[in-house]
């Protein structure tokens, strides 16, 4: 079985982006990943790529995704076109339940098995509120992305 890709989800917080990249570096080394995909809009993905100090792997930047559903739907073709059939998605702990639900629906429909890893980030009250609010639109966002692709 081939090495998994590591997919790192963007966030608006610079401190959390640093933690996500550090976790992705550890995972890439342990899994012997050959590809790391950074996904996020407004410069998040490029900033995470610039923070990378991990192994010498292909670094892919996906800069158009503004939602978690878009992170999944925009990165899956990048994996499929490279023949990658497994991915490890790296996110903040509060984001994990929603990311897991979204990525499984989108990735597995394209033949990409997906696992998840949490970065070492202490959840803030704002992160809790954000995730609770996002739950109300998650199913609609996934449906929209599945219909679009």
Task: Report the pLDDT value the prediction gives residue 60, as an integer from 0 to 100.
Answer: 98
The CB density around residue 143, as the number of other CB atoms within 10 Å, is 12
Structure tokens given for 102: 């979204």
Task: Report the pLDDT value the prediction gives residue 31, as an integer from 0 to 100.
Answer: 97
- Beta bridge mates, 5: 87
Task: Report the pLDDT value the prediction gives residue 149, as an integer from 0 to 100.
Answer: 66
What does the DSSP 8-state code read for residue 8? E
pLDDT in 10s for each residue of the chain, 149 residues? 579 999 999 998 999 999 999 999 999 999 999 999 999 999 999 999 999 999 999 999 999 999 999 999 999 999 999 999 999 999 999 899 999 999 999 999 999 999 999 998 877 767 656 666 777 777 788 788 888 76
The CB density around residue 34, as the number of other CB atoms within 10 Å, is 17
CB 102 within 8 A of CB 138: yes
- The residue assigned the tokens 């996020």 is 40
CB 78 within 8 A of CB 45: no
Our CA angle for 9, 12, 6, nearest 5°, is: 15
Task: Report the pLDDT value the prediction gives residue 140, as an integer from 0 to 100.
Answer: 82
């Amino acid at each position: 079985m081939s090495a998994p890709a590591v997919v790192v989800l963007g966030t608006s917080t610079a401190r959390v982006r640093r933690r996500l990249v550090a976790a992705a570096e550890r995972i890439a080394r342990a899994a012997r990943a050959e590809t790391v995909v950074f996904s996020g809009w407004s410069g998040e993905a490029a900033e995470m790529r610039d923070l990378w100090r991990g192994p010498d792997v292909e670094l892919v930047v996906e800069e158009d995704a503004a939602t978690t559903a878009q992170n999944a739907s925009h990165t899956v073709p990048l994996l499929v076109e490279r023949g990658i059939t497994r991915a490890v998605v790296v996110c903040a702990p509060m984001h994990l339940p929603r990311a897991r639900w979204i990525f499984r629906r989108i990735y597995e429909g394209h033949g990409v098995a997906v696992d998840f890893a949490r970065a070492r980030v202490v959840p803030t009250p704002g992160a809790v509120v954000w995730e609770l609010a996002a739950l109300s639109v998650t199913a609609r966002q996934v449906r929209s992305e599945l219909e679009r692709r």
